[in-house]
Amino acid sequence: MPAVPAVTLAPTGALADTLARPLRDLRISVTDRCNFRCVYCMPRAVFDKDYPFLPHAALLSFEEIERLARLFVAHGVEKIRLTGGEPLLRKNLEHLIERLATLTTPDGRPLDLTLTTNGSLLERKARALKDAGLTRVTVSLDALDDALFQRMNDAGYSASNVLDGIAAAQAAGLAPLKVNMVVKRGTNDGEILPMARHFKGSGVVLRFIEYMDVGTSNGWNMAEVLPSAEVVARVAEHFPLVPLEAHSAAETAQRWGYADGGGEIGVISSVTRAFCGACTRARLSTEGKLYLCLFASAGHDLRAMLRSGATDADIASAIAHIWQARDDRYSQLRGSAAAQELGAHRVEMSYIGG
């Protein structure tokens, strides 16, 4: 448990770390469980029927999540993303969204309240999520070819199931909707053009993500990384592209627009083009540990503070001290001795969320 700081730091909305990076984004994992067994995230050989998932009592309650979120917003967080595991597996998730949707920034602006999902449950839940106050949604989809998609999710779910969820989310007004495709060389890179062709002109922003070395269970190999520059070249060969300006300095994706006005794509290049220097994201695990990097090896136990009777001022001050000491930049250090030492202990994506 983080110690109650001797020097109290009250929220000012202007918290910055050792590299002058502000705290603007909070990703909250609401469950460590998922109904997919994607080979790059939760391979079945590791996450089998005997895997010790967290008991319900270990999870942060919705009241605890709301309390922590309120403190993070006071420190400057403007965007909250709910993740997992698969967040739609968390029972009554819309009740949490209702709570978070009431939060506003210190100057009175509503939060950008988003969710990342594999889309398998989205068709029947999209309307309730929107009605609860969710702003938009990001859906993971790694292939349109059904046989390939089922091999990748290793759980029997079809691509059409996810596409139906995407359609339902668009109909509910969860927009702009983004679709994330993790590209693994030799596995699904043949789906780059079919995916681009399918979503061009649909209003969906398709983003290609380099296969990353998150956690230690996915057997990551640099040879399986397809650089984003090559992805862009493959798309541009068939659909001319023009570069687009970033929405903000902290945006992880490089944006490209179709020259004919048919929308845009994005590429997230954390392996070949590190963007640590502008990272404004903190991550809260399912059991209330604060992680300062997707590639971190250890977290700070805020749940222990919550359940020990700490005051809001104590917890807010602890968060401030933790963030002010932050110097994480794993992607920039990848391949160095320091990064290799960290690599043996990285937290799993399924636990901390993408």
pLDDT digits (tens, 9 = 90+) for 47-56: 999 999 999 9
Q: Mind listing the pLDDT tens digit for each residue in 116-132? A: 999 999 999 999 999 99
Domain count, the chain: 1
- Asked if residue 344 lies in contact with residue 295, where contact means CB atoms within 8 angstroms, the answer is no
Global confidence as pTM: 0.90
pLDDT-derived band of residue 208, with 50, 70 and 90 as boundaries?
very high
Q: Is residue 19 part of a domain?
A: no
Q: Is residue 48 part of a domain?
A: yes
pLDDT-derived band of residue 191, with 50, 70 and 90 as boundaries?
very high
Which residues, in sequence order, are CB contacts of 251 under 8 Å at separation 6+?
278
Q: What is the mean pLDDT of residues 105-109?
A: 92
Instruction: Give the helix ranges, DSSP H, for the chain.
Output: 62-74, 93-100, 122-132, 146-153, 159-172, 192-199, 228-238, 302-307, 312-324, 330-333, 337-343, 349-352
Smallest Cα–Cα separation from 132: which of 160, 109, 100? 100
Mean pLDDT of the chain: 89
Q: What is the pLDDT of residue 350?
A: 59
pLDDT of 218 > 70? The answer is no
Structure tokens at 172: 């509910």
Neighbours of 107 (CB within 10 A): 6
**Residue 78 domain boundaries:** 25-352
pLDDT of 257 > 80? The answer is yes
C-alpha torsion sign, points 212, 218, 222, 224: negative
Q: What is the pLDDT of residue 247?
A: 81
Q: Is residue 193 part of a domain?
A: yes
Q: What is the pLDDT of residue 1?
A: 74
Q: Mind listing the pLDDT tens digit for each residue in 132-159? A: 999 999 999 999 999 999 999 999 999 9
pLDDT-derived band of residue 277, with 50, 70 and 90 as boundaries?
confident
Q: Is residue 51 part of a domain?
A: yes
Q: What is the pLDDT of residue 251?
A: 75
Q: Is residue 130 part of a domain?
A: yes
Percent of the chain with pLDDT over 70: 89
Q: What is the mean pLDDT of residues 61-83?
A: 97
Q: Is residue 32 part of a domain?
A: yes
Kindly report the CATH number assigned to the domain that includes residue 65.
Answer: 3.20.20.70
pLDDT-derived band of residue 354, with 50, 70 and 90 as boundaries?
low
How far, in Å, CA of 168 to CA of 172, rounded? 6
pLDDT of 246 > 90? The answer is no
Q: Is residue 4 part of a domain?
A: no
pLDDT of 219 > 80? The answer is no
Q: Is residue 8 part of a domain?
A: no
pLDDT of 39 > 70? The answer is yes
